[in-house]
Chains A and B, each alone.
Chain A
């Protein structure tokens, strides 16, 4: 048996790890506009992409243009990435809705900063959780992922690309400044050690092809522009042929399908890590850099005789409901620390439905949530 190749280890920033992950996943197109604290992603892409076969890097005039360009490139068959931060994310919302409606795969990294408005440019915050879920108008499904350390920045970027391609949808990766700007040793996996999913292209003759047809998975195949499958792409509510429609049954069919294609694959999409949750009375639910503080707090609580556990959310939306249900079977208390006024604790409370007591820890001062802060709340039971 061949010995597995040793993984290359590097000392990298979270933002740098995102680039490594994207390139490993097959990303060949970056369009963006610089904004702190996400800019390193763009800068490293600017250096790397021109060295890669078919790699395209383009700096656009604003975030709106960035989204337009990557959607266009995705329609032309590329795996695409953009990165931004709060205010830029706000500008991207309209075209994000377009990408959802036109079922265009893309990965959008938002390194969150404090807000509203220009807010706190280089301080950590987790203020865009609900914007990621509901920022664009209309009813829509969305996949939002997060990462809590540098290795996860790489791994979750690959996951984000795979989900985008598998479900023909934009995937948002939410990072916070601590994760994006921490430098840690990470291992770069070798090709073949991880799954790389690319969108399904149609195999039928072009005249049979219906671009928004119902399929078993709810995800229609997607040919690149110019490959002989001529069809219409629009942000308007459309029928199976892609043409605008106002017929109630066609509207409902489209809306139900785009929701169903995400919801029914919750076991693939809703990713969490658990630490000591099996018997925990007190469960901390955290994500991003806060989950690292929470991990230490949970270990210290165990040493102090409290049965504490951590449910670390790697997927924020669709909210990991089943995994939360599992801990609710025995938890007396849920603790939700986050760097905002309580954007994820809303989801936790919604699933909890009054069963356990939910305690929130909210920092909005541009400072990290410390382990001792979390420990204090855990020890209160």
Chain B
């Protein structure tokens, strides 16, 4: 039996409002913990918002239901906003976000499966897609209609393990698998174009046999449209290349490499929260 969508269970807000909330939580968490990776959190806010309010069939009351959709966060460093998303969905209380990166907390700085609602721990890049492929194979075998979504960073597309998976999934016609690439154009040490150019990116996926969608990754309607189409009627796995802005929503963080690492001061946090409407 299909799981109901979360909004039916939890009275969740519209994606734009949801994205506003999780951005604010993530900013507060990274500030309090003096943690890194806020830029890559902010670039994927709308992706998480649409997935969790519109797409994923999950039930926080039964997080291990065999028929659930799976979401694998492969860019495990962008975890503050992942935890914020799960808290907003009711997997645990919002108050628990205050323990992010604190001594003894389960809320580690790279995503941890000790946290309710998290499918797999990641953090070493290039691990999520093969795991997601395994889940998609098992889901297809089980025949319950579950789908698997996997969010990659652009920088982690440097990892060869991803390309093993990118070769594998179309060969096995894994139409219940959807990869989303948060293509914010900046990786750890510079721009993607400078460090290791991915272009022509869409053409690479196409030539490997994927159904490719290229959209504005901050456009919630576009995200909902392409993600709703999984499993793809073409019988191919889907990749959504989501063009995003690193640090999206906070003017002084947008497109700035340094916000892969820095945490905001008290003053900058206040400014950032004002900009995201918190």
Do the two chains bind? no
**B residues whose Cβ falls under 8 Å from a Cβ of A:** none
Interface residues of A (CB under 8 A from B): none
